[in-house]
């Protein structure tokens, strides 16, 4: 006697969620994200209460590491640049929680590129004080009126008024350091500001895992660029960029180099430069910006 087994029914296809159901899920995710943001702000506030009084809230190296870490772990269809923008706003908002935040900007671009670049990095609503010269922006930082100043990237052959980095050779009190470079990500989309800038603050540079350092110095006018590059290489400081300022009426010239890595004031390589340059000074360091596939 044979037994006929019942024919299994075909699996029921699950109906696709409706637009209303998807929107409801999106609303739940928004609420969850908001909860996490509020929790993050609470943690920032608790950490701020534990740090040594007087320690600056602006930590550009740490911020760079945070953004790099998120970009490395990012996956999916959301553009990486969107992640960078979200966290730059978040970092700026958390810094403002810890005290008044104002940034001085030296604007020399008719399209206000420096202002746009500053808002991109420090937050769209962060108060700015715009000046026509680098000296005025630096003066705000020196006087404690601004937390940081955004200044034009030094270039070879610039006029004396624009060579703001020469003043940093004097180590005035408070000592001003280069602490960041803008913009922090590239390639730049159409319409984004194209300016290149450095950020200075009355604080020591904040080290990250990928840095570049700026070193300024004086040298005799007869020192050629070729001899200088050779001396820097011998000292273990091969430059990735070099600027020389020569004034016919001055007994010495000034030089500015950019080198890979983080260089501190007590770096032994600086003393080995004595035969080629006079009084080398570390003007600061900045985290290398994201570029190409990283951004």
DSSP-assigned beta bridge partners for residue 217: 255
> Do residues 123 and 160 both lie within one domain?
yes
Query: 166 and 187 in one domain?
Result: yes
Is 116 domain-assigned?
yes
* Co-location of 62 and 176 in the same domain: yes
**According to the model, what pLDDT value does residue 126 have?**
95
Residue 279 sits in a domain whose CATH number is 3.30.70.260
Indicate if 190 and 117 belong to the same structural domain. Answer: yes
Question: Does residue 153 lie within any of the structural domains?
Answer: yes
pLDDT at position 229 is 93
User: Which structural domain, as residue segments, surrounds residue 241?
Assistant: 212-285
206-209, long-range: CB < 8 A, 24+ apart: 206/58, 206/59, 206/60, 206/61, 206/62, 206/179, 207/61, 207/262, 207/285, 208/61, 208/62, 208/64, 208/65, 208/68, 208/262, 208/287, 209/65, 209/68
261 lies in some domain: yes
111 in any annotated domain: yes
Q: If residue 245 lies in a helix (H) or strand (E), which one and from where to where?
A: strand 239-245
Closest CA to 141 of 129, 126, 124, 152: 129
Residues 159 and 274 grouped into a single domain: no
Annotate 111-165 with DSSP letters as a single string.
T-HHHHHHHHHH-TTS-EEEESSHHHHHHHHHTTS-SEEEEEPP-TT--GGG-GG
Domain end (from 183, 204, 225): 204
Decide if 212 contacts 69 (C-beta within 8 A): no
Q: What is the pLDDT of residue 110?
A: 86
Task: Mark whether 182 and 70 lie in a shared domain.
Answer: yes
On whether both 190 and 243 belong to a single domain, the answer is: no
Task: Evaluate whether residue 187 is within a structural domain.
Answer: yes
Residue where one domain finishes, among candidates 152, 178, 204: 204
**195 and 167 part of one domain:** yes
pLDDT tens-digit profile, the chain (295 residues): 556 666 677 666 677 889 999 999 999 999 999 999 999 999 998 988 887 665 667 899 999 999 999 999 999 999 999 999 999 999 999 998 888 899 999 999 888 999 999 999 999 999 999 999 999 999 999 999 999 999 999 999 999 899 999 999 999 999 999 999 999 998 888 888 889 999 999 999 999 999 999 999 999 878 888 999 999 999 999 999 999 998 877 788 899 999 999 999 999 999 888 778 888 999 999 999 998 655 5
Same domain, 122 and 194: yes
Q: Examine the domain organization and report whether 145 and 224 are in the same domain.
A: no
Q: Are residues 195 and 229 in the same domain?
A: no
Quick check: is 37 in a domain?
A: no
Residues linked to residue 258 through DSSP beta bridges, in sequence order: 214, 241
Domain boundary among 182, 204, 226: 204
The domain that holds 100 is classified in CATH as: 3.40.190.10
Instruction: Tell me if residue 4 falls in helix, strand or coil.
Output: coil
144 and 185 fall within a common domain: yes
* The pLDDT value given to residue 99: 84
Q: How many domains does the chain have?
A: 2
The answer as to whether 155 is a domain residue is yes
């Amino acid at each position: 006697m044979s037994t006929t087994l019942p024919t299994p029914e075909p699996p029921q296809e699950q109906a696709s969620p409706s637009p209303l159901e998807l929107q409801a899920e999106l609303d739940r995710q928004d609420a969850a994200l908001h909860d996490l943001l509020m929790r993050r702000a609470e943690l920032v506030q608790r950490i701020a209460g534990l740090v040594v009084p007087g320690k600056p809230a602006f930590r550009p190296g740490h911020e760079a590491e945070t953004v790099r870490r998120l970009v490395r772990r990012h996956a999916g269809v959301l553009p990486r640049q969107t992640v960078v923008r979200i966290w730059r706003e978040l970092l700026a908002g958390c810094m403002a929680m810890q005290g008044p935040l104002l940034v001085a900007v030296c604007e020399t671009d008719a399209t206000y590129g420096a202002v746009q670049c500053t808002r991109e990095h420090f937050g769209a609503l962060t108060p700015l004080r715009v000046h026509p010269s680098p000296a005025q922006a630096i003066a705000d930082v020196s006087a404690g009126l601004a937390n940081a100043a955004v200044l034009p990237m030094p270039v070879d052959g610039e006029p004396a008024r624009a060579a703001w980095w020469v003043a940093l050779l004097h180590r005035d009190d408070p000592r001003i350091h280069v602490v960041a470079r803008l913009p922090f990500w590239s390639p730049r989309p159409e319409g984004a500001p194209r300016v290149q800038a450095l950020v200075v603050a009355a604080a020591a540079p904040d080290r990250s895992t990928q840095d570049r350092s700026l070193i300024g110095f004086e040298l005799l006018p007869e020192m050629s660029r070729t001899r200088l590059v050779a001396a820097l290489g011998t000292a273990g400081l091969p430059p990735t960029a070099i600027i020389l300022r020569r004034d016919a009426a001055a007994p010495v010239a000034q030089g500015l180099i950019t080198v890979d890595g983080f260089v501190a004031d007590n770096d032994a390589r600086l003393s080995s430069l004595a035969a080629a340059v006079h009084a080398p000074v570390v003007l600061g360091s900045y985290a290398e910006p994201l570029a190409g596939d990283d951004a």
